[in-house]
Amino acid sequence: MLKKHQPISKATLLTIALSLLGLGLLTISPGAQAVPSFSRQTGAACSMCHVSAFGPDLTPYGRDFKLNGYTSGENSKLPPVSAMVMGSFTNTKKNQDPADLPPGNGFNANNNFTFDQASLFYAGRIWDQVGAFSQLTFDGVENRLALDNTDVRFSDQATLAGQDLVYGISANNLPTVQDLWNTTPVWGFPFNSSPIAPAPSAAALIDGGLGATQVGGATLYSMINRLLYVEAGAYTTFAKNFQQAMGAWAPDQNVIDGGAPYWRVALQHNWDGQYVEIGHYGFRANVFPGGDRSFGTDRYTDLAVDATYQYLGDMTHIFELRSTYIRENQELFATHAAGGSPFSNNQLNTFKINAAYTFQQTYGLTFAYNRITGTKNTGIYNTDAGFAMSGKPDSEFFTVDLSYVPFGKNYSMLDSLMNLHVGLTYIGYNKFNGTSFHAGDNNTLLLNGWLAF
């Protein structure tokens, strides 16, 4: 629940300044979305915050909980720690080349069972008005332990010039980890995927071009009169030693030169069991491609719009529509100078839309459509990088997802100790990495199990 609004005091302003130090918590916080420790802290069932009672998809109440810094409630005397395990079975229409599968795990060319990951979360209040969602993950496919998605927040409420404000600071390790809506990349649909199935290679910088815990930053945000949300901040690449300590170091990663600004604006309205949001987000970064500083930097400018509609009613029948469009302008000065691109100006467009129906917050059905298009560039989109000879980044595919969440509808100590998601997903490709020819060979069937406790 929201706290009573108070005028902004000097002490509060000092607290805001000091909370900038919260970025340092990224190095010590072990601890997400839909984890049992949140339920224990708030004394509310998982279904209060999550459309399907489990998973990243949030209700208006869940967005308020995140906005207010994960600090609402104080019922649990247990520490805000949870854990999670995920496993899956993957089938593709055509057998995969063993060279394209992760080495050292004895994977078959098809029909593979995988232990996807195990995670430990610190999820809840740290102290007073500071809370966190932080995830430490062991990747069962890559056999790697690393700090995963992390968002440490200070949040407070006030009145200013007659306007009700929720304001705060987020220190996090990937742009859009802190976002409230399931339209932006980190928490967007699909909410889980196969770790070994083929997937389109072209992606905007904000939509997969940066790794969690390879970059970090801080943003200031405010929700005004529960209507207008504004946020701005910047990101940079963490030092090599820090990345190695967090298990995130990759020698060929893109490295941000200096600071990269990120911004977010959204309008929302919630009425009579319905909710709508329309917004814009953006990211601009000068990047040393692959960490190579020999030829200077490439510049990426990502501009995106997004929209969400939810019909929640009495929570028996829930309908959702979510969409985003990302237009990325790539000024490939360094790549062109190094001979990796025949020209310096490139463009990549990403469109995503999905419609979902959930019955009794237990049974879910989602249809999704994704399309990636861009400038023809044989230097970047070539056969060595897994693309067709067309030199285009184009991919087009649809997704059908069925889900079942048996727990989390009523609050009890037993329900707050465990939650489960079982999903069946089919992905069908019309185009894949620049061609329609044999694109359907990459069609994927995924059976996924997801347990949190």
pLDDT at 78: 81
pLDDT at 415: 65
Q: How far apart are CA 186 and CA 160, in angstroms?
A: 32
pLDDT at 413: 61
Angle at 146 (CA atoms; ends 149, 119), nearest 5 degrees:
65
Q: How far apart are CA 81 and CA 374, in angstroms?
A: 43
Q: How far apart are CA 23 and CA 235, in angstroms?
A: 11
Place of tokens 């247990």: 78
Q: 234 in a domain, yes or no?
A: yes
The answer to whether 165 and 214 have CB atoms below 8 angstroms apart is no
Q: 381 in a domain, yes or no?
A: yes
Residue 297 sits in which domain range? 82-110+158-452
Q: How far apart are CA 400 and CA 356, in angstroms?
A: 10
Q: Are strands 144-160 and 130-139 parallel, antiparallel or unpaired?
A: antiparallel
User: Tokens standing for 321?
Assistant: 């529509």
The answer to whether 169 and 19 have CB atoms below 8 angstroms apart is yes
The answer to whether 412 and 39 have CB atoms below 8 angstroms apart is no
Q: What sign results for the dihedral spanned by CA atoms 11, 14, 20, 25?
A: negative
Chunk the chain into consecutive blocks of 10 residues (it has 453) and report each block's average pLDDT, rounded to whole numbers.
37 36 34 72 91 94 96 83 96 93 88 96 94 96 94 96 95 97 97 95 95 93 98 97 93 95 98 97 97 97 98 97 98 97 97 98 98 97 95 98 93 75 98 97 97 92
Q: 327 in a domain, yes or no?
A: yes
The answer to whether 249 and 240 have CB atoms below 8 angstroms apart is yes
The answer to whether 253 and 290 have CB atoms below 8 angstroms apart is yes
Q: How far is CA 196 from CA 100, 265, 354, in A?
A: 9, 35, 23
User: Tokens standing for 257?
Assistant: 């030169």
DSSP 51-108: TTSSSSPBPHHHHHHHHTTT-------S-SEEEEEEEEEEEESSPPPGGGSPTTS---
pLDDT at 77: 77
User: Which CATH number covers residue 228?
Assistant: 2.40.160
Q: 63 in a domain, yes or no?
A: no
Q: How far apart are CA 237 and CA 287, in angstroms?
A: 10
pLDDT at 22: 37
Tally of domains within the chain = 1
Q: 391 in a domain, yes or no?
A: yes
pLDDT at 211: 85
Assign 3-class secondary structure to 247-316: CCCCCCCCEECCCEEEEEEEEEEEECCEEEEEEEEEEEEEEEHHHCCCCCCEEEEEEEEEEEEEECCCCC
Residues 6+ positions from 135 with CB-CB distance below 8 Å: 31, 32, 119, 120, 121, 147, 148, 149, 150
pLDDT at 151: 98
Average pLDDT value for the chain: 91
Upstream peptide bond of 200 is cis (omega within 30 degrees of 0): no
Q: 1 in a domain, yes or no?
A: no
Q: 129 in a domain, yes or no?
A: no
CB atoms near residue 23 (< 10 Å): 17
In total, the chain counts a number of residues equal to 453
Q: 256 in a domain, yes or no?
A: yes
